[in-house]
Chain A
Amino acid sequence: MNKTSLQKSISILALLASALLSTGCSTIIDARKQKQPYISSYYSGNIDKAAKDLTAKSESRNDSDDELMWRLDQGTANFTVGDYQQSINAFKRCEVIIADHDNRAVINARAGGAEVGAALTNANALPYKGMYLDKVMLNAYKALDYFALNDPSAAQVELRRMRNAQKHVVKQFAEEIQKNQKEIDAQNQKNQRQSTKNTSISFDDISKNPVINDLYQSSANKANKLYGNLSNPFVSYFSAIGYLMDNNYGEALVDFRNLYRMLPENKLVQQDYVSTARKIGDRIPNELSHIKTYDYPLDQKMAYVLLFNGRAPALKQEKFQIILPYVGYTGIAFPRYEYFSSALQGLNIDYLYQGNKRSVQTEQIANFDAIMSQEYHEKLPGMITRLVVSTLTKEIASFAAVQAARNSGNDGAVIGALLLTGTYKALFNTADTRCWETLPQEVQIAHIPIPDNGLINITPLDASQTTEIKLKNNTNNAIVFVRALSANKLIYKTFETQ
């Protein structure tokens, strides 16, 4: 190997080492694999271990680009285990990280550095800023934390933040899609300038690939268009609960009206909408005129049963083969949602009210498969195009490095260059599978008046074991939170406000 080739090889090695050091673990080992033991503990019901380990892991990932991902799961795991203050602390840290990204200058050195890292490695080098759903759900969990700590005033603050976040995500999302397309166009142009072949790539071209076409179609099928604009019906329902607890029927009606638009066939939403509208003398749609109002007030002496059912979809790494200029067939790693079946069909609730035995079942309010798939589906064209363009960029650079070695006439240099560039490409062909894995697959809700004797009997629809919840005598409103990690792992919590 001559001196020049050696210097080049050392430079590439140095570049690789610094890329590795600066971009973190997820650039090589995908996040899903890294989180597997923690998530496995959580869903197998070993929630104490999951909470403890996720807390320790989050601390060790402090200030890293992946910190937000770990903190979100730390927050839910600690909520599930009942360490509400720890959960609040984790979510507060999430808010700080998200705000830090939101408040950065439009063109900032850190983002520039991360982009360079991502160009050299993969999308995992970019800081994880959270999915749009994450930004809304973290305040929902914080509100639950404060209800659990019997601090309804603080919970109301979180509900307002949740509503605010819901409003903002739609706007931010549209801006992000636009920004991504600009970046893809710029990179396409840059690649074209460095190449003699046609290297311009569009999603229309890529979507001819059967894997990508299937991916695009299946995510479209999963996404529920009725929800629209990344809206989360659970957020609207939780918001309405907050307003009703505050005796604000007017604002609750706005939420129920939106929910009716999103879930027109939902019986619970229909009756909530009609009862709230009639209470304040607002008009109701003709098609709902036959719906009866509840025979109990919605703003006091109420118990809400929230079922957080099953496991939300999680991103996993897959590869698709594509023909690219210079390299021919190449496999590109990409993230794809894996869906899980729900843990329970629902819950049956028995109680005594005004001397009569009554029964009600929970109804699905939000399907997280649909909500998360919608965001994924909308982002998919940009994400896949970006991956292909980035792969092509690396291929062009590798091609140039090997070509330079060939021009030196030294066989050793050529072998060295091929080995280095091959290792480099294989090492960093990792999909960005970072996501919040401890969210539920769906949320089901029911509400009842506070029973005469304060007793609520809850039975899963597909099981016979009943759990009895006893409310305190002076309870004004209660939230009975049921986390179904699996069909056999149910966690019951009761939050009461006086």
Chain B
Amino acid sequence: MTHKIISLLSISLSLIILTGCGGTQTRRIDATSNEGLVTTDDINFKDWQIAAEKGINSLLESGVLNRADGRKMILMISTVKNSTNEHIDTRILTDKIRYALLRSGKALTTTAIGGNGPDDRASRQVRELDQDDMFNQSTVKKSGTAIAPDMSLSGEIVQQQASSGRVRESYFFFHMALTDLDTGLAIWEENVEIAKQAKKPVFGW
């Protein structure tokens, strides 16, 4: 009987240890490090960073943003099509690129127009004040002063999944393109590929 009680206690103790005793532990991690979670089916923050970094470097090195007249290129952010199996916010990619372009000093981006509508509706809203007596009309922004974009940045993210036995993998294909709005021609394109694999353990909880 004593043996049985000891066995039962041992099993219970093992179970408690296995299932964990404390609450959830939360900590900050460095967003530029490799500490983040890596999941097979999702685009993790590091994947966005890799895709954006490669895209930005390629775009800046391509020279397509250099103008002979010294004026900065005006870019509009068009759409990045999500063709993955996950609900993702493609803004993470485009916002990273527009931020880097602004810092490079070679281009400016417009927020007055965008593929999914303007990022900032204010440019249009303030011009609608020309009928509003409340405002000093000499301070109201005039029509015909906003600068139209020269180029548009667009893209697509495609995902393919495969599995065999215990192994599952995802392949993400990021495609980015810059279109010259005068000619409609793509003057720069870049592809970034990210592949991730996960293997199910043989034994586990």
Per-position 1/0 for A159-178, Cβ under 8 A of B: 01100100010010000000
Q: Report whether A105 and B204 are in contact in the complex, using a CB–CB cutoff of 8 Å.
A: yes
Q: Which of A92-108 contact B (CB under 8 A)?
A: 103-108
Which segment, of B80-88, B94-102, B106-114, B173-181, faces chain A? B80-88
- Whether a CB of chain A sits under 8 angstroms from the CB of B166 is yes
Known contacts A106-B201, A108-B205, A110-B205: A157-B82 contact under CB 8 Å:
yes
Distance between A137 CB and nearest chain B CB, rounded to angstroms? 16
A-B contact pairs, 9 of them (CB 8 A): A103-B200, A106-B203, A107-B204, A108-B205, A109-B204, A110-B205, A153-B82, A154-B87, A160-B159
Q: Please name all residues of chain B whose beta carbon is closer than 8 Å to the beta carbon of A106 when the two chains form the complex.
A: 166, 200-203
Report how many residues on chain B are interfacial, defined by Cβ distance under 8 Å.
17
Q: Please name all residues of chain B whose beta carbon is closer than 8 Å to the beta carbon of A160 when the two chains form the complex.
A: 83-85, 159
- Whether a CB of chain A sits under 8 angstroms from the CB of B137 is no
Known contacts A157-B85, A161-B85, A168-B163: A109-B200 contact under CB 8 Å:
no
Q: How far is the CA of A109 from the CA of B200 in the complex (A)?
A: 14
- Whether a CB of chain A sits under 8 angstroms from the CB of B123 is no
Known contacts A154-B87, A157-B82, A157-B84: A164-B200 contact under CB 8 Å:
no
- Whether a CB of chain A sits under 8 angstroms from the CB of B49 is no
Q: Please name all residues of chain A whose beta carbon is closer than 8 Å to the beta carbon of B205 when the two chains form the complex.
A: 105, 108-110
Prevailing SS type, chain A contact patch: helix
Q: Report whether A104 and B200 are in contact in the complex, using a CB–CB cutoff of 8 Å.
A: yes
Distance between B64 CB and nearest chain A CB, rounded to angstroms? 28
- Whether a CB of chain A sits under 8 angstroms from the CB of B197 is no
Q: How far is the CA of A105 from the CA of B200 in the complex (A)?
A: 6
Q: Which of A300-334 contact B (CB under 8 A)?
A: none
Give me 8 other A-B pairs in contact (C-beta within 8 A), A108-B204, A160-B159 excluded: A104-B204, A105-B205, A106-B201, A109-B18, A109-B205, A153-B82, A157-B86, A160-B85
Per-position 1/0 for B163-205, Cβ under 8 A of A: 1001000000000000000000000000000000000111111
Q: Please name all residues of chain A whose beta carbon is closer than 8 Å to the beta carbon of B18 when the two chains form the complex.
A: 109
Closest chain B residue to A171, Cβ basis: B163
Q: How far is the CA of A171 from the CA of B168 in the complex (A)?
A: 13
Q: Please name all residues of chain B whose beta carbon is closer than 8 Å to the beta carbon of A161 when the two chains form the complex.
A: 85
Q: How far is the CA of A259 from the CA of B44 in the complex (A)?
A: 37
Q: Report whether A157 and B161 are in contact in the complex, using a CB–CB cutoff of 8 Å.
A: no
Shortest 3 CB-CB distances between A and B: which pairs?
A105-B204, A105-B201, A160-B85
Q: Report whether A105 and B202 are in contact in the complex, using a CB–CB cutoff of 8 Å.
A: yes
Closest chain B residue to A7, Cβ basis: B1
Report how many residues on chain A are interfacial, defined by Cβ distance under 8 Å.
17
Per-position 1/0 for B72-86, Cβ under 8 A of A: 000000000011111
Q: How far is the CA of A171 from the CA of B82 in the complex (A)?
A: 27
Closest chain B residue to A161, Cβ basis: B85
Closest chain A residue to B4, Cβ basis: A11
Q: Please name all residues of chain B whose beta carbon is closer than 8 Å to the beta carbon of A108 when the two chains form the complex.
A: 203-205
Most A CB contacts (10 A, CB to CB) among B83, B166, B200, B204 go to B204
Distance between A357 CB and nearest chain B CB, rounded to angstroms? 38
Distance between A128 CB and nearest chain B CB, rounded to angstroms? 20
Q: Please name all residues of chain A whose beta carbon is closer than 8 Å to the beta carbon of B82 when the two chains form the complex.
A: 153, 156-157
Known contacts A157-B82, A157-B84, A157-B85: A164-B161 contact under CB 8 Å:
yes
Q: Please name all residues of chain B whose beta carbon is closer than 8 Å to the beta carbon of A157 when the two chains form the complex.
A: 82, 84-87
Closest chain A residue to B160, Cβ basis: A164
Q: Please name all residues of chain B whose beta carbon is closer than 8 Å to the beta carbon of A154 when the two chains form the complex.
A: 87
Q: Please name all residues of chain A whose beta carbon is closer than 8 Å to the beta carbon of B83 when the two chains form the complex.
A: 156, 160
Q: How far is the CA of A157 from the CA of B85 in the complex (A)?
A: 5
Q: Report whether B85 and A164 are in contact in the complex, using a CB–CB cutoff of 8 Å.
A: yes
Q: Please name all residues of chain A whose beta carbon is closer than 8 Å to the beta carbon of B85 when the two chains form the complex.
A: 157, 160-161, 164
Q: How far is the CA of A171 from the CA of B162 in the complex (A)?
A: 12
Q: How far is the CA of A161 from the CA of B84 in the complex (A)?
A: 9
Q: Please name all residues of chain A whose beta carbon is closer than 8 Å to the beta carbon of B203 when the two chains form the complex.
A: 105-108
Distance between A155 CB and nearest chain B CB, rounded to angstroms? 10
Q: Please name all residues of chain A whose beta carbon is closer than 8 Å to the beta carbon of B202 when the two chains form the complex.
A: 105-107
Q: Please name all residues of chain A whose beta carbon is closer than 8 Å to the beta carbon of B84 when the two chains form the complex.
A: 157, 160
Closest chain A residue to B201, Cβ basis: A105
Q: How far is the CA of A44 from the CA of B11 in the complex (A)?
A: 50
Distance between A102 CB and nearest chain B CB, rounded to angstroms? 9
Q: Please name all residues of chain A whose beta carbon is closer than 8 Å to the beta carbon of B86 when the two chains form the complex.
A: 157
Q: How far is the CA of A105 from the CA of B203 in the complex (A)?
A: 5
Per-position 1/0 for A433-453, Cβ under 8 A of B: 000000000000000000000
Q: How far is the CA of A196 from the CA of B202 in the complex (A)?
A: 36
Q: How far is the CA of A159 from the CA of B205 in the complex (A)?
A: 32
Closest chain A residue to B90, Cβ basis: A153
Closest chain A residue to B164, Cβ basis: A171
Q: How far is the CA of A103 from the CA of B200 in the complex (A)?
A: 6
